Structure 1
Amino acid sequence: MGGFEFANLLKAATSPGILGGVVLLTLALPVWFKLLTMVPFSTAFPAQGLIHFLGIIVGWLVFSEYVPTVRWVGGLFLMIGAYLVSLKG
């Protein structure tokens, strides 16, 4: 069994996927802060739940993944929940 090696950690941390994620998060942070100046946090934060449904759609459309009915229903519940939480009053 292999143990911890710093070289493996460095290799993983500098992989294109990790570096791309860091870049995207760095770009998204100012957008998030700008959004929070325009929309209440209690509305903006639940809207992040929509990413789960978008992940289902991307998996289906882009990667031709099979998405079972129960996952579509779950994604629909997430969309409804995000909408209900964002309602004012």
Structure 2
Amino acid sequence: MPGLDAGGATRLMARPEQIDIVAPDADGVHLPGKILSRYFNGGHMDYRIASDAGEIAVHASTAQDWAPGTAVGLRFDPDRLWPLEGA
């Protein structure tokens, strides 16, 4: 990402609708997590997911149905991540 020090630690932000929930054994790089809760919210599902990076909110399609307690992976599109200054 432009303006960041190579090899330095940086906090990144992703919007909840830009995070994909995948099976824990899915190909590619993803952050392991566990579904804490899910709520139907009209056109999408709101999930709260526990991970080593903390609790993460995800808005996902209603076509997905991940039950609380399920191990999952979180996949982030690098083009949709934003660095947080001073973090």
TM-score tier, shorter chain, comes to: under 0.3
**Could you say which structure has the higher helix fraction?**
1
Tell me the TM-score normalized by structure 1. 0.22
Say which one has the larger Rg: 1
Say which structure, 1 or 2, has more relative contact order (CA 8 Å, 6+ apart).
Answer: 2
Tell me the TM-score normalized by structure 2. 0.22
